[in-house]
Structure 1
């Protein structure tokens, strides 16, 4: 249990890198609303142990004391999240400029930094919970951007399996349904594309009591009218 608490302290300092994290915040992250009587003293012990461990690894002080708590000194290139954000921003710029080959490479490199869900669901304090939700939203955005770039490059046939798996994993993410409908339509599978819309409609209504959003409805209508969908390429 002590190792888990030390990990929580380190995770919180990483999430708030460059900022001061108060001892009270650390107590809340570790024990939520039910801290033990000697919680503050325990935090001091965990910080001391972390300082020794990080000092051995880097040879320099990483945890700095600043009233009313501590901050973690970390270089940008040591933090995968900062690298991910940089790659995502660069990918967005390339996509906006129509440079989809470059955009796809950047989005793919960014997603390659992930090793599973943020914090692997191990921490449930307020800082960790909000951080996990924020980073997961960025990962979903990056995935959608990558797929949009591949669609723009005419690589739709390779996306059917990927999108089907993503919908199974994230059944309430409308963007993946939209992209799978476009992909199937460009693979000359219009009936399957329309069935994806009906599946999204059933899922959203059953889980949330909502109808598909405007973007999903627009793709369905375009397929029904046999419109030229968003500059769809001729060949895969």
Structure 2
């Protein structure tokens, strides 16, 4: 079996996909997957499903959802009904023998970082691209409401952006500057407070013989950060700006920052 939570929730087995039509059941399974390998209490599930204002029969409803989920997972391939087990303090989601896209994502990120640190940039880029391909969209179609799922969705978005940064760094280290200019222009527009994307864009523009545009990116970042946060650009961005002004030879070295 395979569980996928990096986007709309999906369960599949032997090429066949299984869908949950009830949103509360979907959220229950998602909450159990986020806490896979640890006990999730009934109180935590109630908070995920209804927040601070649960209905009077919330506990009974949780029992129903779990019963239905067990039947759903048995139909999907958990024939021994071992995926969700009841413990004295709550419920345990077991992934023994199953694939999980979150685990695959973490593994690809670890692999990519290890290759990056070793200077194996092609292998790093392949790992980062594999990690990015696992993220299919917002978690649960952007509808998580409970604290655990909300935190998980925020983690996924932060990790996606970090993976994008690392992927761009690998391409820069491989000398593939021009191919990331369009992507970085889009990323600085979409995430105007993320200074690392400005830094990368300035560097690739400079290395593409577009010094004036690189300096223009800095001025744009400076305006945005002053207007939105009342802050000046971070130290590394200021250093890069000065290096571009003086055409510092260090900017031609791999991974300049």
Query: What interval of TM-score do these two structures reach, taking the shorter chain for normalisation?
Result: over 0.9
Structure 2 CA distance for partners of 1:200 and 1:76, relative to 1, 3 Å: farther
Q: Aligned ranges for residues 115-126 of structure 1 at < 5 Å?
A: 115-126=136-147
Question: 1: distance between equivalents of 2:160 and 2:25?
Answer: 27
More divergent stretch after superposition (194-203 vs 76-85) = 76-85
The answer to whether the Cα contact below 8 Å between 1:76 and 1:83 also exists between their aligned partners in 2 is: no
Task: Name the structure 1 match of 2:9.
Answer: none
Q: What is the Cα deviation at residue 119 of structure 1?
A: 3.1
Deviation readout 1:57-110 (Å, 9 max, x if unpaired) = 012321110122111111475111111111111111111111111111111111
Structure 2 CA distance for partners of 1:192 and 1:76, relative to 1, 3 Å: farther
Q: What is the Cα deviation at residue 231 of structure 1?
A: 4.0
More divergent stretch after superposition (211-220 vs 26-35) = 211-220
Question: 2: distance between equivalents of 1:117 and 1:210?
Answer: 30
Q: Any stretches of 5+ residues in structure 1 without a counterpart? A: none
Q: Aligned ranges for residues 99-178 of structure 1 at < 5 Å?
A: 99-178=120-199
Question: Larger relative contact order (C-alpha < 8 A, sep ≥ 6)?
Answer: 2
Give 1 or 2: higher helix fraction.
1
1:79 aligns with 2:90: no
- What is the aligned length? 232
Question: 2: distance between equivalents of 1:143 and 1:34?
Answer: 38
Deviation readout 1:125-146 (Å, 9 max, x if unpaired) = 1101111122222211111111
Give 1 or 2: higher strand fraction.
2
Q: Any stretches of 5+ residues in structure 2 without a counterpart? A: 1-20
More divergent stretch after superposition (97-106 vs 133-142) = 133-142
RMSD: 1.5
More divergent stretch after superposition (36-45 vs 113-122) = 113-122
The answer to whether the Cα contact below 8 Å between 2:40 and 2:90 also exists between their aligned partners in 1 is: yes
Task: Name the structure 1 match of 2:73.
Answer: 54
Instruction: Please report the TM-score for the alignment, with normalisation by the length of structure 2.
Output: 0.86
Deviation readout 1:158-178 (Å, 9 max, x if unpaired) = 001111111222121111110
